[in-house]
Amino acid sequence: MAFPDLAVNAIYTVLCLVPGFVSLQTLVYAADLDVDLTEFEKSTWSFIASGVSLSALYFLYVAWMAIVTGRFVPIRSLDISWVEIVAVYPVLILVAALVGYVGAKVLVRTGGASAIPQHDTAR
């Protein structure tokens, strides 16, 4: 029995957005930010962070294949099965956490964290 296309697309959407949420939460925690984002802002930043995480993982794959094969091919075709997605997904979550951590360190080092409005929690 196969899943309907809509269900498969919903699963792929959730699987692709979760790394962005991990990146965003890691960034907020590592930079010690006290921000109150709307659902739209959280979704937007998570979508962007997911794209960065997926791109970073893809470029790690390209680099790995260049080392293994001895040929650098920047654009590689990917035909990923469910088993491969399950095997690679923890690596994607790790990359997403690293993207959030590095983003937090860059934000703090450049002083960008001071430009983000802090909310008064004493109210």
Tell me if 7 is assigned to some domain.
no
Tell me if 4 is assigned to some domain.
no
Round to whole Å and give the CA distance between 61 and 76.
Answer: 9
Write down the pLDDT at residue 11: 79
Taking residues 71-78, report their average pLDDT: 83
Q: Which residue has the higher pLDDT, 114 or 101?
A: 101
The boundaries of the domain holding residue 49 are 20-30+39-113
- Residue carrying the six token digits 């650098």: 72
Taking residues 49-76, report their average pLDDT: 89
Does 114 have pLDDT greater than 80?
no
Tokens of 106: 């860059």
Q: Which residue has the higher pLDDT, 112 or 15?
A: 15
Q: How many domains does the chain have?
A: 1
Tell me if 75 is assigned to some domain.
yes
Q: Residue 24 contacts by C-beta under 8 Å, 6 or more apart in sequence?
A: 42, 45, 46, 49, 100
pLDDT tens profile 85-97:
778 899 999 999 9
Please, which pLDDT band fits residue 123 given cuts at 50, 70 and 90? very low
Closest CA to 30 of 100, 112, 78, 115: 100
Tell me if 15 is assigned to some domain.
no
Does 115 have pLDDT greater than 60?
no
Instruction: With H, G, I as helix, E, B as strand and everything else as coil, classify residue 58.
Output: helix
pLDDT tens profile 3-39:
667 877 787 788 888 999 999 999 999 988 888 889 9
Tell me if 6 is assigned to some domain.
no
